[in-house]
């Protein structure tokens, strides 16, 4: 049931990102935030008052749906306001903040559940959504370029910003017919899966193995991953910017796939070896040494995952600049759909085949991700010519 509740949330996140990104292309970034945040605030109050598991899952799904455009639309905002050679660094800082949330949430939520109530946590989340809404309303400007929104292209004399339209939120998924975007989305999913394999069952692996029963302390075990995210995202973004600039000077032209070279350490080394080491350590190393080593592997995994996610996201925005939010949403939705299915299988797989088998399989999938990224780096230009979904070039980026 724990795995299923997370899967419902992840699935709702993917749907919300598709809706939010599609309508942000028409109405603008700001309006999507101002609609989504109140939805999440109301759903948080609904979750806090839920009287059954079914009602809790329903409200959690609505909550995630309202909040989900933050990632895809946020990446679109980064693409709107930063130039090509600075976009990786900006995207890295953005991802560091985004991924710090899931790392801090288990500790904060665990402390609230242990010392007060999980309902208190959901009520606090509602208050947070309201505060963020007020800040966005007062201080966040529209970042879409003049004339770029669909509403701006309506006939003169209409009221484009508020004119109701019906858009197909799933149309952006058709962008994944591009092998470049599909391979990058698949790689990001497979590497991120190593993170979930470590974190989703943590109460039943590290918690049970080292006799940790306090929810707050179990939640604190997530913090090394968050620290790895906070360091890895801006670092990999900065490295990817330097790689783009260096290879652009070397080639004499911009080759978008050069940015993906920054993913290699994460997909080839950090992510797979950390998840392998965590399984072996939990299985065979006792006491404080085993727990300490696991925390180190969690940090390394957080670092490795962001060494892939941040450059991949910047690459997607680079090559689809005019539809950056939609392409990010398509990539995120692909990742989320398969992640929702995978999350539901993690605990049963550990129970059936064991921790080392599960972690080894996840490590092997990370190496598959490295292979997909290397193919994209080597043959990116040819693959973009196979299926052109409106790729950006150096002059309109």
The CA-based dihedral angle spanning residues 289, 294, 296, 300, taken in that order and rounded to the nearest 10 degrees:
160
And the tokens for 27?
Answer: 């109405």
Higher pLDDT, residue 98 or 277: 277
134 pLDDT band, cuts 50/70/90, is very high
How much is the pLDDT for 292? 94
Residues 228-252 have pLDDT tens digits of 988 998 899 899 999 999 999 998 8
DSSP class of residue 397 equals -
Mean pLDDT of 376-388: 92
Q: What is the pLDDT of residue 155?
A: 54
- Rounded to the nearest 5°, which phi and psi values hold at 238? -65, -45
Q: pLDDT band for 192, please (50, 70, 90 cuts).
A: very high
Is 260 or 115 the better-scoring residue by pLDDT? 260
Question: What is the chain's alpha carbon radius of gyration, rounded to the nearest angstrom?
Answer: 21
pLDDT digits (tens, 9 = 90+) for 149-169: 666 666 555 555 556 777 788
Please check whether residue 179 is in contact with residue 387, taking contact to mean a CB–CB distance below 8 angstroms.
yes
Looking at the chain, the whole-number percentage of residues with pLDDT higher than 70 is: 94
pLDDT over threshold 90, residue 259: yes
Is pLDDT at 107 greater than 80 in this prediction? no
140: pLDDT strictly greater than 60: yes
Q: How confident is the model at residue 2 (pLDDT cuts 50, 70, 90)?
A: low
pLDDT, position 396: 67
Residue 77 pLDDT greater than 70, yes or no: yes
* Residue that has been written with the tokens 């070039």 in this structure: 393
State pTM to two decimals. 0.82
Lowest mean pLDDT among 37-51, 141-155, 372-386: 141-155
Give pLDDT, residue 317: 87
Structural contact between residues 258 and 247, judged by C-beta atoms closer than 8 angstroms = yes
Tell me what the mean pLDDT of segment 6-17 comes to. Answer: 81
Q: Which two tokens stand for residue 387?
A: 């299926």
Query: Which of 38, 334, 329, 77 shows the shortest CA–CA distance to 185?
Result: 334
The rounded mean pLDDT for the chain is 87
Return the higher-pLDDT residue of 131 and 6: 131
- Asked whether the CA dihedral 223, 227, 228, 232 is positive or negative, the reply is positive
pLDDT over 70 (residue 3) = no
Query: So what's the pLDDT on residue 150?
Result: 63
Question: Which element (helix H / strand E) includes 201?
Answer: none
The answer on pLDDT for 133 being more than 90 is yes
- DSSP three-state, residue 300: helix
Q: Which domains does the chain have, with CATH numbers?
A: 2-142+172-385 (1.20.1250.20)
pLDDT in tens, 266-313: 999 999 999 999 999 999 999 999 999 999 999 999 999 999 998 998
Q: In angstroms, rounded to a whole number, what is the distance separating the alpha carbons of residues 315 and 311?
A: 6
pLDDT digits (tens, 9 = 90+) for 273-282: 999 999 999 9
Using pLDDT thresholds of 50, 70 and 90, give the confidence band for residue 374: very high
Rounded mean pLDDT, 335-344: 83
Residue 270: its pLDDT value, please? Answer: 96
Per-residue model confidence (pLDDT) at position 23: 83
């Amino acid at each position: 049931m724990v795995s299923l509740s997370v899967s419902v949330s992840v699935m709702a996140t993917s749907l919300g990102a598709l809706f939010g990104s599609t309508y942000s292309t028409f109405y603008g970034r700001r309006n999507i935030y101002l609609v989504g945040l109140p939805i999440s605030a109301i759903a948080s109050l609904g979750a806090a008052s839920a009287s059954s598991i079914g009602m809790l899952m329903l409200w959690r799904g609505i909550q995630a749906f309202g909040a989900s455009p933050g990632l895809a639309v946020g990446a679109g905002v980064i693409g709107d306001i930063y130039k090509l050679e600075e976009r990786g660094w900006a995207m890295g800082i953005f991802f560091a903040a985004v991924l710090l949330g899931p790392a801090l949430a288990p500790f904060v939520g665990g402390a609230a559940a242990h010392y007060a109530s999980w309902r208190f946590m959901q009520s606090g989340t509602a208050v947070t959504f309201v505060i963020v809404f007020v800040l966005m309303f007062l201080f966040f400007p529209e970042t879409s370029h003049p004339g770029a929104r669909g509403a701006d292209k309506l006939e003169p004399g209409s009221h484009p910003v508020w004119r109701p339209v019906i858009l197909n939120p799933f149309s952006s998924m058709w962008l994944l017919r591009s092998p470049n975007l599909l391979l990058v989305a698949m790689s990001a999913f497979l590497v991120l899966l190593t993170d979930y394999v470590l974190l989703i069952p943590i109460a039943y692996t590290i918690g049970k193995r080292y006799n940790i029963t306090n929810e707050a302390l179990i939640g604190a075990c997530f913090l090394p991953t968050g620290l790895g995210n906070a360091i890895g995202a801006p670092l990999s973004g900065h490295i990817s910017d330097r790689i783009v600039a260096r290879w652009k000077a070397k080639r004499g032209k911009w080759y978008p796939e050069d940015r993906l070279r920054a993913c290699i350490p994460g997909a080839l080394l950090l992510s797979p070896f950390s998840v392998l080491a965590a399984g072996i350590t939990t299985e065979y190393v006792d006491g404080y040494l085993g727990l300490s080593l696991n925390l180190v592997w969690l940090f390394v995994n957080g670092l490795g995952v962001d060494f892939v996610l941040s450059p991949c996201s910047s690459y997607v925005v680079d090559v689809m600049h005019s539809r950056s939010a939609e392409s990010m949403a398509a990539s995120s939705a692909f990742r989320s759909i398969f992640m929702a299915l995978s999350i539901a299988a993690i605990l049963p797989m550990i129970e059936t085949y064991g921790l080392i088998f599960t972690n080894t399989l996840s490590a092997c999938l990370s190496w598959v991700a490295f292979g997909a990224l290397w193919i994209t780096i080597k043959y990116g230009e040819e693959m973009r010519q196979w299926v052109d979904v409106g790729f950006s070039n150096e002059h309109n980026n």
